[in-house]
Structure formats: C-alpha cells, structure tokens
A and B are shown apart, each in its own frame.
Chain A
C-alpha cells in the first residue's frame, strides 16, 4: 500500500487540496499540520477539496473536513468540494458535510464559488 501525500495548489487566495485515493486515518496524518502551516503563511479566503482521486473515505475524513470548515468560518472564508463519486457523496451526507460545504461539478465552478 503506497504512502499517499496530499497535493496542495494555490490559486490566488484559493487553496486547493487534492485528497488521496484512500482518505482515512492513516493517509491524513499530516493534513492538519500541513494546512495549518499553509494557512499561517498565506492569505487563504477559500479552501477547495478535490475528491476526484478519492475512492474511499470514512469518519476520519469527516472530522478533518469539519475542522477545516470551522477554521475557514473563523477567518470569514469559505470551503467547497468537487469531484466526489457516489460513495463519497453518501459518506459526506451521513457525516453532515453536505449541509456545510457546497459541492460543485467541476474544479472551475468550485474555485469560483
């Protein structure tokens, strides 16, 4: 099982986080530290989560998304999602994320908001 790291992409004041194939506890150990670092060094007004590579997600992913959402809320920013498949959508719905972050069909739409 390969070690998967996140890929971060800055688009102006938007931070795009390309989530791993398996978005679980193991593969998200560094996400908190890395995003905290990015947020402290850059002005980020919007955080966009890219699920297009992701085939698995559990409640660990929900915890991370909720925490990032709260972080963005505190600084007056926003968060969004794109690229989620049917199973990821189900997990997002059970985890209550669907109510917090809008989901977009494409990256471009998610960046625009």
Chain B
C-alpha cells in the first residue's frame, strides 16, 4: 500500500500508486519517517515574464534536492521546467501578461511537477509535441521544447483547452 496521500488533480489514484510502487517498503518507510509522515509539496505562482524562467527552475530544483538527486538529475529537471515555463511565457501568454502556476510534489522517490497557464491553449497537442514543430515565425525557436521535456523527464503529460490554458505534468524518479 502506498502512503502517498491525496489524489492528484492530474492523475487517478491507481496510476499514482503504480508509479510509486517501485520503492521497497523499507526505503519508503525510512523516507516517510524523515518527512515526518507527510507527503511534501510546494506551490509557486509567478508572473509570465522571461526573467522568471530561471527563478522557477531554481525553486523546483531546490525543492527536488531533498530527494538527494544526482547533479545530472537536477540539471535534467531544471531543463524540463525551463522548457515548460518558457512555453507558457512565449506561447501560452504570447509574451503578454499572465500568471504561471507551478506545483511540485514528492511521493517516495518520485517528483511530480505541474506547470499551468491560463493562456491561449494548444489546438493540436500531438502536432505541438512533434520535434521541430513551432508556431514561431522568427526562425529563432527550435521547436524542441516538448522533446526536451520528454528527453529529460520519465513521463510528460500535456492537457490543454483552446482559450483556457495548458497544463504540463512531468514525473521523474530521483535520488536512486
């Protein structure tokens, strides 16, 4: 039985239990004790500005550091968070005003991070996730944002509704 508490808004309980099941019960109880018996989570709300991209990835990395990750895992996480936040700034809000909501939680050795915007949304998610696809016309964007998230995280899920916004949920096992 998992001790990872509440059902996530972004995943059904069964999925979460399955994802958390890889840790042995001894490891899990040791970690559980060290956390004072609670799942840990954080929330961050920032204005949609490019200068906040670094702030967001550093905060999430600092939160994830309690999983005792390797330097490489932390760098991977920072890159993935940067991609999602940059997407929200450039595409979600088109460089204009808006708020970006970031949530992260730890369940066993698994970090889940969610980056949400209330921006324009994505009409065709599979298309948007194709490597090299970009709506940018300056020729300056690589179109590799989602490909990078997928390369550097274990799992990436994108939900979006046109006119309502986009939510990216990413998971990664850390500190093995």
Contacts and interface: CB of A to CB of B under 8 A. Distances in A.
Interface of A: 1, 22, 24-26, 29, 32, 56-60, 62-64, 66-67, 86-87, 90-91, 94-95
Interface of B: 50-51, 53-55, 57, 71-72, 75, 78-79, 82-83, 86, 89-90, 138-145, 147-148, 151-152
Contacts, number: 70
Given A67-B140, A95-B142, A58 B148 contact: yes
The DSSP consensus for interface residues of chain B is helix
DSSP class of A's interface residues: helix, strand, loop or mixed? helix
B70 to A, nearest CB: 11
A84 to B, nearest CB: 13
Nearest to B80: A58
Contact of B55 (A1, A59, A90): A1
Given A63-B141, A63-B144, A67-B139, A29 B50 contact: yes
Nearest to B75: A87
13 contacts: A1-B55, A24-B53, A25-B90, A26-B50, A26-B53, A32-B140, A57-B79, A58-B79, A59-B144, A60-B86, A66-B142, A90-B75, A91-B79
Contacts of A25: 50, 53, 82, 86, 89-90
Which one of B54, B55, B83, B140 has the greatest number of beta carbons of chain A within 10 Å? Answer: B140
